[in-house]
Chains A and B, each alone.
Chain A
Amino acid sequence: MVNIEDYIARIEETCGEEKHFIVFLKHEKKDEALAKILKRAQIERSISSVIFELNFRGVPLRAYVSGKILVRNLKDKNALLGILSELLQ
């Protein structure tokens, strides 16, 4: 079982009407984490290898090579943690 805290520095709920989450990956682990995520999620498109539009079990994500991931349309933080556990396996 992966410990997602090894990869994640911080999670923030976005400010605005849309309630999304932004996952900040630990700088030293971001490349490893992104590689895992890109392997498990479905890549829908990418631009300049800077941003990857992904889908994981119907949940839309946008992963940035800077180490930040925007996750949309989730019920709550527990749902997010569940998805991250699977993605970072």
Chain B
Amino acid sequence: MFEPHKIKEDFPILKRKINGHSLVYFDNAATSQKPIQVIETVREFYEKHNANVHRAIHTLSQEATELYERAHEEVARFINARGMEEIIFVRGATEAVNLIAYSYGLRNLGQGDEVLVSLMEHHSNIVPWEVTSKIKGFKVRYIDVKSDGTLDYESLEQTISEKTKIVSITHVSNVTGVINDIKRIAKIAHEHGALLVVDGAQSVPHMPVDVKDLDADFLVFSGHKMLAPTGIGVLYGKIDLLKEMEPFQGGGEMIREVSFNPAMGHCNISWNDLPWKFEAGTPDIGGGIGLMAAVRYLRGLGMDDVYRHECDLTGYALKRMQELKKIKIYGPLEIKGKCGIIPFNMEGFDSHDVALFLDSYGIMIRSGYHCAQPLHQRLNIPSSARVSFYIYNTRDEIDRFIEVLKELEQL
């Protein structure tokens, strides 16, 4: 049985009072809070096992290496990848998209090629493609979004062509919570010979994600949105693609050999095995081990139950929010095809006023563009307030949120 009140007890920060009120944290799409199990795991690593990985033969290094490699294996199992060779630890989803754009894009894309993204993307799935397109001369094209915030699949069909080499799209919108049909998009992309990059930053923390079932060529996500520390994230890639790709960054750890050739006056370099070929320099070992603890915590809850709980909260919040007279909710008003994110505005207030007012009552929400300016432009919204839920949120907290908004309505 899923018990959010009990889960909440695992999160020390949620015991805080803000401005004299119990903390209600509804900014989970930005980052999640961390359970004591993750905090203790990271602390234990630094207290007992800290050393560099893959470098030394002493006991501590051996322990750190085993933990770090196990973290890759557990993340692989969490998303049903075939093994840790397909799991590259990066700083976050942003770095992962950049890795694909630079490592794959710079070598395989050029004049006449196209990359498709959608208008609902986070800036992190737009900017890397726009930047590399300027270097290589390929074109970035945009799949339209309907006025209800859902993806326009007809626009996808119309925009994709034999020129399309990559479709890079979010699994779940970080603004509306709309869930895209990735299996359908994968089929369309692959029929046109394009690769599919999936931004899983808002899906992997909240629902079961199976990369084999989705048939994604790449999947990126951030640890900090799924209970892990900041600074750790994941790039999943199909092994055949990763084998063909050149490294993103050079340095220690990612090489097998750097031998100086005196006759030629340069070094001959060969790459390390996967996934280390893409993890140059000393990695965020503590972060990776923290991510393993987070994955264990979520697996313990069961991702089906996590998703069901968030659907329940979202449905309840949507129903209660519609009691308000001055509210405008964006995106679908039904839970079908939607995750635990609700953007809205209050008549007579801009989104920042709403966020500041709620903050005065200890309720943390986000306001602004949420790093998705093109979607706001498409929906003709100057900015939006956003609530986003996670495992420790409750219906009681939503009731409090509604009561405060009712008070704001009176101003």
A interface residues, Cβ below 8 angstroms from B: 14-18, 20, 22, 45, 47-48, 50-51, 53, 62, 64-66, 68, 70
Which of A14, A50, A51 is in CB contact (< 8 Å) with B352?
A14
The answer to whether B376 touches A17, judged by C-beta atoms less than 8 angstroms apart, is yes
Known pairs A14-B352, A45-B411, A51-B411; list 8 more (Cβ under 8 Å). Answer: A15-B369, A16-B350, A16-B351, A16-B352, A16-B367, A64-B356, A68-B356, A70-B356
The answer to whether B356 touches A66, judged by C-beta atoms less than 8 angstroms apart, is yes
B interface residues, Cβ below 8 angstroms from A: 19, 350-353, 356-357, 359-361, 367-369, 376, 382-383, 407-408, 410-411
Complex-state Cα separation, A17 to B352, whole angstroms: 12
A-chain residues with CB within 8 Å of residue B383 when the two chains form the complex: 14-18
Complex-state Cα separation, A30 to B356, whole angstroms: 15
State whether A16 and B382 are in contact (beta carbons under 8 Å apart), knowing that A47-B407, A47-B408 are contacts in the complex: yes
State whether A70 and B359 are in contact (beta carbons under 8 Å apart), knowing that A15-B368, A47-B411, A48-B407 are contacts in the complex: no
A-chain residues with CB within 8 Å of residue B359 when the two chains form the complex: 64, 66, 68
How far is the CB of B303 from the nearest CB of chain A, in Å? 31
B-chain residues with CB within 8 Å of residue A16 when the two chains form the complex: 350-352, 367-369, 376, 382-383
B-chain residues with CB within 8 Å of residue A70 when the two chains form the complex: 352-353, 356
How far is the CB of A60 from the nearest CB of chain B, in Å? 11
Nearest-neighbor residue (CB-CB) of A15 within chain B:
B368
State whether A64 and B352 are in contact (beta carbons under 8 Å apart), knowing that A14-B383, A16-B367, A16-B383 are contacts in the complex: no
How far is the CB of A14 from the nearest CB of chain B, in Å? 5
How far is the CB of B271 from the nearest CB of chain A, in Å? 40
State whether A47 and B410 are in contact (beta carbons under 8 Å apart), knowing that A16-B369, A16-B383, A66-B360 are contacts in the complex: yes
The answer to whether B353 touches A17, judged by C-beta atoms less than 8 angstroms apart, is no
How far is the CB of B126 from the nearest CB of chain A, in Å? 16
A-chain residues with CB within 8 Å of residue B376 when the two chains form the complex: 16-17
Nearest-neighbor residue (CB-CB) of A69 within chain B:
B356
Complex-state Cα separation, A70 to B355, whole angstroms: 11
A-chain residues with CB within 8 Å of residue B351 when the two chains form the complex: 16
Complex-state Cα separation, A88 to B218, whole angstroms: 54
The answer to whether A65 touches B360, judged by C-beta atoms less than 8 angstroms apart, is yes
B-chain residues with CB within 8 Å of residue A18 when the two chains form the complex: 350, 352, 382-383
How far is the CB of B377 from the nearest CB of chain A, in Å? 8
State whether A64 and B357 are in contact (beta carbons under 8 Å apart), knowing that A16-B352, A16-B382 are contacts in the complex: yes
Nearest-neighbor residue (CB-CB) of A20 within chain B:
B352
A-chain residues with CB within 8 Å of residue B350 when the two chains form the complex: 14, 16, 18, 20
Of the candidates A17, A53, A62, A70, the one having the most CB atoms from chain B within 10 angstroms of its own CB is A17
A-chain residues with CB within 8 Å of residue B369 when the two chains form the complex: 15-16
Chain A to chain B: the 5 pairs with minimum beta-carbon distance, closest first = A16-B383, A15-B368, A17-B382, A47-B411, A50-B360
A-chain residues with CB within 8 Å of residue B382 when the two chains form the complex: 16-18
Complex-state Cα separation, A86 to B319, whole angstroms: 46
B-chain residues with CB within 8 Å of residue A17 when the two chains form the complex: 376, 382-383
